[in-house]
Structure 1
Amino acid sequence: MTTLPLASGRDVPEVKTPHPHEPWPPKATDRELGRLAEQRNLDLAIRGNDGPIVELEQLFRQRFTPSMRHSIAFNSGTSALLAAYMALQVGEGDEVIAPVLTYHAAVSPATALGAVVRFADIDLQTRGMDPDHLEELIGPRTKAIVIVHHWGHAADMTRIMNIADRHGVAVIEDCSHAHGSAFEGTPVGSFGKVAVFSLQANKAVFAGEGGVLATDDQEVADRAILAGHYRDRALRDVAAADLHAYWESGFGFKLRMSPFNAIVGIESLRAFDELAGGRQAALSYMNDRLAETGLLDPLDVPNAEWMGAWYGFKPLPSHSVRTRVERSTLVRMLQDEGVEVDAPSGRMLVRLPLFAGRTPWRRPGDNSTRRPTEDEIASTFPVAHLVESNALSLPTFYRWPHDRFVIDEYLRAFSKVALAIESGRIPNDEPRADRASLPRDGQSHGR
């Protein structure tokens, strides 16, 4: 590909800072390494919620869900979501409503339990579930609504909770992207019947693998414990007499967190506020200046502090850019300028084999499970289709003010590429081999 020259005539990339521009996760501290070594000789497998397990649960609840009385650690966010569905007794004949553009683990445990999933379009500003589409989909068989606070943006919880309460349907908040995020000042994870956070390695609070379930409902807590814990913890913590009878076996699964993961999570949590502050400063700076470049539309962020750790930065090209150039070409042009960018890796769930052809994707009354055509997908989920087809995935800078220099390089690269597109200097050949890359958030979706 021919690199477009700068105004000075120099034929060099605009971004000269070496990759990666978002090195993650941060290196372990001496304290973390010391605690891991000490735990190795103390206890390899904690069976209850003692030691670092209970420490993590308490610290996590205090920081992120102070209004919830219960927090329960699991070996992954997906396991915590499975426990949430089991705690709400989701099963055969039930329906669950989920956003169509998110990570599959938000809803795949419900499918594993035999429930039918109905997909809702997303809102362009929040990237979360569209309340209007939710209202169309909810029906007498709806057992749960799973809300994903996608990329750190809080969904519209006022409208969603009004709909759910009016129909008597439980809400699960998937906060895996949204540690520390808030909706109009109230922490996410505080609205629904149950909330789940992932601690997978790329999350803002990470444990390598892990998850935390939070709830204020004692029966939900009892069932969640039995979904993944048995014997010691179930014997001590399950309150309801009929459920306590299951203490020896739980509900048949072992989904406990390792004490080593808990220690990593504790140390990550202790560093969270500094990380979140850095991301808010860095990404607000970049977002506020996007409009100047003419290439990308700024994200709709009412208050940077409500974004928590701002897990992902996924802007759309401006309308004029989208009408002139394919995303793949735009990505190649930006990569040629040294920008660490690609298309987000996640597809609409209605496309995945796990759901396609076996899940009704239209509104209630039309239970056809045939695979939808591309035109039907675009007309049923117009906003998700727009985002899926056009969004870009950029680094979530967090080392402020250190990262200001590379962000300024990005902004100059955006302006340069926008000018090239407007001038008609658009390459139409294949990307150079040394610029090829995998989707940059391919590993970061994990629960």
Structure 2
Amino acid sequence: MTSTSADDRLALLGGRPAIGHPRPHEMWPPPGDAAELADLAGQRNTDISIKGSSGPVRALEEDFLDFLDHRVRWAVTFNSGTSALLAAYFALGVREGVDVIGPALTYHAALSPVFALRGDVVLADIDPATRCLDPRALEAAVTERTRVVTVVHQWGHPADMDRVLDIAARYGLKVVEDCSHAHGSRYRGRPVGTFGDAAVFSLQAAKAVYAGEGGILVTNDAGVHDRATLLGHYRDRSRDEVTDARLRDHWVTGFGLKLRMSPLNAVVARHALAAFPARRDARHRCLHHLGELIADVPYLEPVTVADDVDMGAWYGYKPLYRPRALPGVDRDLLIDALRAEGMEVGAPSAPRLGTLPLYAASENPLFPGTAKRPAGAMTGSAAEHVEQHALSLPTFTRWPQDKPLIEEYAAAFHKIARQGAELARYAERRAVPADAPAG
């Protein structure tokens, strides 16, 4: 990667940017093709309010069972992944006096529905390699109040399910898998979402399989299926599909909520699911190529993928910054310099959950006057380290069209490495107040 001295000057300092492709570089979700748009138009004139499990909603659920190698028996759609998680926690008995253990660094909605059920969340540290719940931290957090553990397959990398399931079995815990980042990911050859007592996939627009808004809960447990169905669905579906006769008595009303998916969202999701295998393969080729090109950048810790897992869809490319390799340059300045080179880059948007008011407060804001356990910020933890050092890059999906752009990204990273001393001098000059006396 040789350059002329003029080309090698940092764009932040007036040089030519290394990346010539205009932004945005990640355009997602992709536009609907003719077949999808025709199906949407047809559904609009057929039925836009499906009351039971039929039409595209039923077809999506059946497609999803096939997607998971038929290792789960039931799939139930919801209007969002958050609603599906609420249904999962409700079905597993989360209520006042119950603790749910989950990872300290993830998207807030993985655990926030617990508060709507008056439960408490206990945060445990993450494994810095997988970025998922650390089994050692999980076991240390178990108390007599613990009933459920939530694993999030963070950014697409599967959690260590063997160890999590072993701990759950020894302590009598139920397991929820949040697979919202991990469509198509596999742990030791088996699809994520097929290990826990319940699993949830978000189908929000940023996900690899998207509905616009939507979620889907999967389970092998008849009781979980029945209670989750009754939380979000009533009348036809609950009458026809709830297996427990005593629970089926609630079929007219369900449990008072309406959280079902629109058939139009189901149409979109079916097309996204059908297109997923080709898009997954393209993402793997793109991000493997990027990883190879930046493996020797001294200030980056590349994304590592364990030998016994498959990243499925990925969910962004998130290496860690090693600030010791660029002394005097903090992450914010590095991001500024990379953006000046034309890169679409930032810090991941999810902070440690313990720093958010919903988690840190000692009162449940949904039930004023009700005390809850405040979560600590977990300073000095692996979660803090990843939060403070991760970079978030696009999830390149088009291969080979994105190959030249990926190579420009790599060139930008290497350019910063070559000009690290100049960037550090810039940081030092910027830190000196304008009215500081000379000398």
TM value normalised by structure 1: 0.89
Q: CA deviation digits over 1:181-219, x for unaligned, max 9?
A: 011221111110000000000100000000000001111
- Map 1:42-191 onto structure 2 (within 5 A): 42-64=46-68, 66-191=70-195
For residue 277 of structure 1, report the CA deviation from its aligned partner: 0.4
Q: CA deviation digits over 1:128-184, x for unaligned, max 9?
A: 001111010012111111110010000111111110111110000000000000112
Q: Distance in 2 between matches of 1:322 and 1:378?
A: 23
Distance 1:357 1:323, change over 3 A: farther
Partner of 1:378: 379
Q: Distance in 2 between matches of 1:305 and 1:132?
A: 20
Q: Distance in 2 between matches of 1:369 and 1:83?
A: 22
Tell me, yes or no, if the aligned pair for 1:234 and 1:250 is still in contact at 8 Å.
yes
Q: Distance in 1 between matches of 2:313 and 2:374?
A: 39
Q: Distance in 2 between matches of 1:241 and 1:203?
A: 37
2:310 to 290, 293, 306: 306
Partner of 2:261: 257
Matched, 1:244 2:270: no
Q: Distance in 1 between matches of 2:145 and 2:39?
A: 48
Partner amino acid, structure 2, of 1:67: R
Partner of 1:416: 415
For residue 302 of structure 1, report the CA deviation from its aligned partner: 2.7
Tell me, yes or no, if the aligned pair for 1:290 and 1:297 is still in contact at 8 Å.
no
For residue 242 of structure 1, report the CA deviation from its aligned partner: 1.4
Distance 1:425 1:356, change over 3 A: closer
Q: Secondary structure at the match of 1:171?
A: strand
Partner amino acid, structure 2, of 1:411: A
Q: CA deviation digits over 1:45-87, x for unaligned, max 9?
A: 0001100000000001111352000000000000000000111
Q: Once structures 1 and 2 are overlaid, which stretch shifts more, 9-18 or 217-226?
A: 9-18
Matched, 1:348 2:352: yes
Partner of 2:405: 406
Q: Secondary structure at the match of 2:100?
A: strand
Tell me, yes or no, if the aligned pair for 1:175 and 1:196 is still in contact at 8 Å.
yes
Q: Distance in 1 between matches of 2:23 and 2:387?
A: 26
Q: Distance in 2 between matches of 1:194 and 1:260?
A: 25
Tell me, yes or no, if the aligned pair for 1:201 and 1:207 is still in contact at 8 Å.
yes
2:226 to 222, 238, 245: 222
Partner of 1:271: 275
Q: Distance in 1 between matches of 2:122 and 2:306?
A: 29
Partner amino acid, structure 2, of 1:297: E
Partner amino acid, structure 2, of 1:137: A
Tell me, yes or no, if the aligned pair for 2:84 and 2:216 is still in contact at 8 Å.
yes
Q: Secondary structure at the match of 2:7?
A: coil
Matched, 1:197 2:201: yes
Q: Distance in 2 between matches of 1:52 and 1:20?
A: 32
Q: Distance in 2 between matches of 1:65 and 1:118?
A: 33
Partner amino acid, structure 1, of 2:89: Y
Q: CA deviation digits over 1:223-269, x for unaligned, max 9?
A: 11101001000000001111111111111110010000000000011
TM value normalised by structure 2: 0.91
1:23 to 6, 27, 44: 27
Tell me, yes or no, if the aligned pair for 1:280 and 1:304 is still in contact at 8 Å.
no
1:296 to 288, 296, 300: 300
Q: Distance in 2 between matches of 1:6 and 1:182?
A: 43
Partner amino acid, structure 1, of 2:79: N
Q: Distance in 2 between matches of 1:42 and 1:83?
A: 29
Q: CA deviation digits over 1:362-393, x for unaligned, max 9?
A: xxxxx995675xxx7313xx111111111111
Partner of 2:7: 6
Partner amino acid, structure 2, of 1:242: R
Partner amino acid, structure 1, of 2:387: E
Q: Secondary structure at the match of 1:264?
A: helix
Partner of 1:397: 396
Q: Which runs of 4+ in 1 moved over 6 A?
A: none
Q: Secondary structure at the match of 2:147?
A: strand
Aligned CA-pair RMSD: 2.1
1:329 to 333, 353, 371: 333
Q: Distance in 2 between matches of 1:83 and 1:136?
A: 27
For residue 311 of structure 1, report the CA deviation from its aligned partner: 1.4
Partner of 2:342: 338
Q: Secondary structure at the match of 2:123?
A: strand
Tell me, yes or no, if the aligned pair for 2:239 and 2:252 is still in contact at 8 Å.
yes
Q: Distance in 2 between matches of 1:149 and 1:290?
A: 24
Q: Distance in 1 between matches of 2:343 and 2:203?
A: 28
Tell me, yes or no, if the aligned pair for 1:6 and 1:416 is still in contact at 8 Å.
no
Unaligned runs of 5+ in 2: 365-370, 431-439
Q: Distance in 2 between matches of 1:206 and 1:191?
A: 22
The count of corresponding residues between Structure 1 and Structure 2 is 416
Q: Once structures 1 and 2 are overlaid, which stretch shifts more, 297-306 or 134-143?
A: 297-306
Q: Distance in 1 between matches of 2:179 and 2:419?
A: 39
Tell me, yes or no, if the aligned pair for 1:322 and 1:390 is still in contact at 8 Å.
no
For residue 402 of structure 1, report the CA deviation from its aligned partner: 1.0
Distance 1:65 1:260, change over 3 A: same
